[in-house]
Amino acid sequence: MLVVLFGVIAVLLWYWWKRHPRSPPSFPGELPIIGHVIAMLGYRNDIWSFIKRVCDYSLENGGLIRLNVGSHIIYVVSDPNDTGVVASTCLEKGFFYEIGKDFVQKGLLTSDATTWKTHRKLLHPAFNQQVLNTFLNEMNIQARNLVSQLTAVAQRTSLGLEAKDQNIIDNNYANAIQEILNIFCYRGIHPWLYPPFIYKRTAWKKKEDDLIRDLKNMINTVIQKRRSDLKANNFVTNNGVDSITGRFKPVLDLLLHLADEEHAFTDDEIKEHLDTIVIASYDTTSTVLQTILLVLGTYPEVQERVYKEVQEVFQNSEDLSMLDLSKLVYLEAVIKEVLRVYSTVPIVSRKLDTDIVLPNYTLRAGSTCILSIYGLHLHPSWGPDVKEFKPERWLNPDTLPTNPNVYVPFSIGKRNCIGKQYAMMSLKTSLAHIVRKLHVSGDISNIKWKYELVLKPANPALMEFTIRY
């Protein structure tokens, strides 16, 4: 009797969710009660193909469709106007981000909207342009190291650490971060692992807990060492500014000041923000750099134009200045076009805490909304050549789409990436040094892609470097 009762209730719930007025069209393959779970499982070994198919279907059907995972509704939005409404109205992250909350907790990536607003304001001075300018010398050094070694992307973080402390981040910590990201991805494509009461009984959860413990021990060592160094040097800040030099300070120094002098952060919250910064930048910048180099190898005429511009800017200098970076106009156009055509972070999500009434549909509170950055970057407003790689489109602003929401490589709305300026500076610096000394050959058309929170090559991204004479 209970089985029959639950069955009837489940069917009624499914019917109610499916038939709600002003609901957008459903993605193909929906089944009663379980929705699109079976369709998702068919792509569990190639989740990017599923995401791409869903985002493409959204583009083809007016920019908004619906997925059902059991009784939970997931909207996929690729219309720039609708995306802007959702991003500005709903600041809570979608349930997918809950997967990483045991690790980063109140970091900017996963924190609730109230905490995010407060902490983002406190952290903002550490990403002021004056702070970023102080890193240019180190960016030049690491870019030259990269040119000479070409074995790893080595660039200074914005933590302000000494070399020996930075090695902890670059090696042990980064390896552990990669392992925990792999766990998040695995859980993300297996819906039956979403419920915490199931997941906590698996070997994956035990491994995650072990990694979190190890990561906490590593980062706490760095935090305490930096705190001791700052106290020994009588370092004082006022709103993130060094009272002696007048310069803004790196994020770790600012966090420690806010914790010790203003009691704005606990040590656990400092760790959570540092973990978030590493996660947000660990794969993204290096993956984008790799993709840009592949693109330059694929389009030799583009690479040659970049090379000529770099030569003109460098002239006889060993390193780049901030003024030099501003002159690298075509290189910046190449970076922007790569970020558009090859979206490193193809989707982000929001939790709908209120009904969102759009011109054609209503998105229901309690649901999840996926904002398709991939879809926005391929929106028809870019023109008939939307899928073509054309850096020249960025040299004439009059030819670009007028809606700002069609280009959002660092996420959309208020909860965008706090480190976007830092990322652009490091990319321009690294690429300028590489292209100046080396010619790259490659073929991005042979690359298959996989989704691991960021979009990465699934097969070896082979490139050949030759020295320029």
Residue 54 lies in a domain: no
pLDDT for position 288: 92
In a domain, 390, yes or no: yes
Number of domains comprising the chain: 1
Q: How confident is the model at residue 430 (pLDDT cuts 50, 70, 90)?
A: very high
- 185 in a known ligand binding site: no
Mean pLDDT over 146-159 rounds to 51
What's the rounded Cα separation, in Å, for the pair 446 and 298? 10
Q: Is residue 12 part of a domain?
A: no
Q: Buried b vs exposed e over 175-186: b needs ≥16 C-beta within 10 Å?
A: ebbeebbebbbe
Residue bearing tokens 């690491």:
142
pLDDT surpassing 50 at residue 132: yes
Please determine, for residue 240, whether its predicted confidence score (pLDDT) is greater than 80: no
CA pair distance 102, 106, nearest whole angstrom: 10
With 90 as the cut, is the pLDDT of residue 390 above it?
Answer: yes
The verdict on residue 389 lying in a domain is: yes
0.85 exceeded by pTM: no
Model confidence over 102-129: pLDDT tens digits?
665 666 666 777 777 777 787 777 777 8
Q: Are residues 32 and 89 in contact, defined by beta-carbon separation less than 8 angstroms? A: no
- 13 — pLDDT class (breaks 50, 70, 90): low
Distance CA 465, CA 148 (A): 11
Can you give the pLDDT at residue 356? 94
Structure-token match 């819906």, residue found: 191
What pLDDT does 151 receive?
37
Q: Using CA of residue 158, residue 163, residue 167, residue 173, what is the dihedral sign?
A: negative
Structural domain boundaries enclosing 405: 113-350+372-467
Q: Tell me the C-alpha distance between 130 and 122, whole Å.
A: 16
Output the domain CATH number for residue 300. 1.10.630.10
Asked if 390 and 337 count as a contact pair (C-beta separation under 8 A), the reply is: yes
> What is residue 347's predicted lDDT score, i.e. its pLDDT?
93
Has residue 78 been placed in a domain?
A: no
The pLDDT assigned to 235 comes to 56
pLDDT at 10: 59
List the single range of 5-9, 44-48, 71-75, 146-150 with lowest mean pLDDT: 5-9
Closest CA to 242 of 163, 162, 130: 130
**26 falls within a domain:** no
pLDDT on residue 221: 80
Answer yes or no: is 325 within a domain: yes
Gap between the Cα atoms of 135 and 132, Å rounded: 5
Which helix (H) or strand (E) element contains residue 432? helix 420-437
Count of beta carbons in the 10 Å neighbourhood of residue 124: 12
Q: Mean of the pLDDT values across residues 430-446? A: 91
Residue 171 is predicted with a pLDDT of 62
Count of residues for the chain?
Answer: 469
Q: Does residue 237 register a pLDDT over 60?
A: no
Residue 384, in any domain of the structure: yes
Tell me: the pLDDT tens digits for 321-348? 999 999 999 999 999 999 999 999 999 9
Q: Determine the Cα–Cα distance for residues 466 and 440; give it in Å rounded to an integer.
A: 7
Pairwise pLDDT comparison (258 vs 409), residue with the higher score:
409
- What confidence tens digit (pLDDT) does each residue in 197-228 have? 888 889 888 998 888 888 788 877 877 887 88
Q: What is the pLDDT of residue 211?
A: 85
Mean residue pLDDT of the chain comes to 82
Give me 435's structure tokens. 């292209």
Confidence of residue 101 (pLDDT cuts 50, 70, 90): low
Contact 94, 351 (CB under 8 A): yes
Between the CA of residue 299 and those of 143, 150, 254, 293, 444, what are the distances in Å?
A: 22, 21, 43, 10, 10
For residue 153, what pLDDT band results from cuts at 50, 70 and 90? very low
Residue 194's pLDDT band (boundaries 50, 70, 90)?
Answer: confident
246: left (phi over 0), alpha (psi -120 to 50) or beta: left
Burial of residue 46 (CB within 10 Å: 0-12, 13-18, 19+) is middle
